[in-house]
A = this chain, B = another copy of it.
Amino acid sequence: MTADGRTTYTDKTINQAIASLVFNGDGLVPVIAQQHDTGEVLMMAWMNADAVAETLRTGRVCYYSRSRQALWRKGESSGQTQTLVDFRIDCDGDTVLLQVDQRGVACHTGRRNCFFNAIRDDGVAVIAEVVTDPDELYKK
């Protein structure tokens, strides 16, 4: 635990966590991020071993961007960081569930979470409002 309350781990524990994960053929595991206190599912993304290590070492969530093929420190551009609260691994070791504290909005569209398209009787409907203008999130 850091002075400002982030949950962090030693190298030994980080190595044990990585050893218990089953990465796919691309060296990745899917990661679900859930707001720790409300239970809201915020997003799904991917991590490689380096992203797992950085997340556990710093207490700030770091994914792996498949499109950019690079570590993706969530909130680095937008300020919408995720602080780690708990790191959980499923029964098969091939999926991660993160309990996080999301600052601002998780979705690049400016919505609180990414799952805002819902099936309704007449098709696919948008069920969440934009909270923060994406132009504000990514302005230089």
Residue of B nearest to A38 (CB): B39
Q: Which residues of B contact A38 (CB under 8 A)?
A: 39
CB-CB contacts of A83-118 with B at 8 A, as 1s and 0s? 000111111110101000000000111010011111
Task: Check if A119 sits within 8 Å of B30, measured CB to CB.
Answer: no
Cβ-defined contact, B9 with A121, below 8 A: yes
B124 and A89 within 8 A (CB): yes
Cα–Cα distance between A12 and B32 once the two chains are bound (Å): 30
Indicate whether A43 reaches chain B with its CB closer than 8 angstroms.
yes
Indicate whether A16 reaches chain B with its CB closer than 8 angstroms: yes
Say whether B41 contacts A119, CB under 8 Å: no
Q: Report the nearest B residue to A1, measured CB to CB.
A: B121
